[in-house]
Structure 1
């Protein structure tokens, strides 16, 4: 397994809330949901603290328990992480949360778990088959009905900051609900809402994980398709994809062409060749 990673914060004065870690048999990528200024989250530690500890605990569980289902490993990691800060209000609707991708390689299979809107791309050995993108779009489906006022005003303005805070707080009512969307928080039951599956290891040449700050080149900006994005990563490394994302963001800093919650987002890419 050959692994390359790249990650970059949205801003140098704020911690990176994306996280990547790997062992010889597993790779995990998490993307923390930031808390807008003016909103409370009930946790004194913050999103980056939560994501780092959840990611470390998840990688340990996935690696050390090769026969345990990935959903169970994630549930264990959520429980272990929650126990690290019992003094915080973990029932708060804004308690820190994260998207999760986990891939584990066994002797015969590639097993995967995807929770929320980070993206896993599988590359198949069949040259006629294109890359397969796996993402959990339930959050986007819920958000589409709630983001109108945020998308209507220029990014970076006080009006946009107010609208973003309102959007995030409105989304909390749908978080980890049967008719809403699911993310990793302090409740281990969310793990069992993840998308999971496996493919024969012999059928794939590699895989790539992207946080939504990196995948936006394809799924929000539509400046490339997955085949083109993967070629850029394979030819020039994962940092090249993030550079393309930043170039696009800077060309539309006010969000007029591509309305979005943040002009820049934390971006993370992990790519593996088998």
Structure 2
């Protein structure tokens, strides 16, 4: 099993007030699942935070094809709670699963997975990001061709995910992040690249990455430098380190 460290921090709501995080990290014996519930613009009992918690509870065993496993979990959740496609809360999903031979990853919506071997490879689903600023109501384009796909109440979304597999001996480390963390690379430019983020997690721990992002956002409270819906988004970061049995210094990332 790889060495796994995580960091999570709640952001604020659209009204700027503190509220529980809508991100989730689930560590399984053979996998890590990361989810980011979509913040609802209006109060509702079953919001994105509820969805990410409930879907996480359905993802407690990942033995088969990852898309099939996710589709079944979405279907079970919808059936249990009577969720209707197009009128239900939703979550992004990132999965990383390992065996003795392979490392498999799945990304649905904007929670990227970064795999480090000879170089960093970013597995990202950019469909939601590419729609921003181009359409009036992004939710009208949810789970439809030409739009973006996310875990909601339609199991078909799972098979629209971005997927990739690597030989296990090719993988040295993996980062999994919600957009409250990936913004530090993709939007703010706080870190030169994902390798820099990984180096910080090895040197200071994953909390240091979250600290740097929060500090930058606090210096831009009016959201002028970086346009965003909330001053602080929820943050979740998982770091998986695949340490060879014959590794020398256990604190040396390579």
- Is residue 229 from structure 1 mapped to residue 197 from structure 2 by the alignment? yes
CA distance in 2, matches of 1:198, 1:172: 30
Give structure 2 stretches of 5+ with no counterpart: 243-254
Deviation string, structure 1 residues 42-98 (Cα, Å, up to 9, x no partner): x6332212111211212x231xxx2x2100000011011112312xx524x352111
Match of 1:150 in 2: none
Say which SS state the counterpart of residue 83 (structure 1) adopts.
Answer: helix
CA distance in 2, matches of 1:99, 1:44: 19
- Is residue 190 from structure 1 mapped to residue 166 from structure 2 by the alignment? no
- Is residue 253 from structure 1 mapped to residue 254 from structure 2 by the alignment? no
Say which SS state the counterpart of residue 99 (structure 1) adopts.
Answer: strand
Contact 1:29 1:209 in 2 (8 A): yes
Match of 1:180 among 147, 159, 166: 147
For normalisation by structure 1, the TM-score amounts to 0.82
CA distance in 1, matches of 2:48, 2:185: 26
- Is residue 116 from structure 1 mapped to residue 109 from structure 2 by the alignment? yes
Contact 2:116 2:174 in 1 (8 A): yes
Query: For this pair of structures, how many residues does the alignment match?
Result: 236
Contact 1:61 1:76 in 2 (8 A): no
- Is residue 99 from structure 1 mapped to residue 102 from structure 2 by the alignment? no
Contact 2:111 2:179 in 1 (8 A): yes
Deviation string, structure 1 residues 196-221 (Cα, Å, up to 9, x no partner): 12000000111010000011111110
CA distance in 1, matches of 2:129, 2:163: 19
CA distance in 1, matches of 2:92, 2:141: 15
Deviation string, structure 1 residues 214-267 (Cα, Å, up to 9, x no partner): 111111101112111111111111111111110010111111111112111000
Listed as ranges, the matches of 1:125-274 within 5 Å are 126=118, 129=119, 131-146=120-135, 170-224=137-191, 225-274=193-242
1:107 positional shift: 1.5
Say which SS state the counterpart of residue 45 (structure 2) adopts.
Answer: coil
CA distance in 1, matches of 2:223, 2:76: 39
- Is residue 70 from structure 1 mapped to residue 66 from structure 2 by the alignment? yes
**Structure (1/2) with the larger helix percentage:** 1
For normalisation by structure 2, the TM-score amounts to 0.89
Match of 1:164 in 2: none
CA distance 1:44–1:84, shift in 2 (3 Å): farther
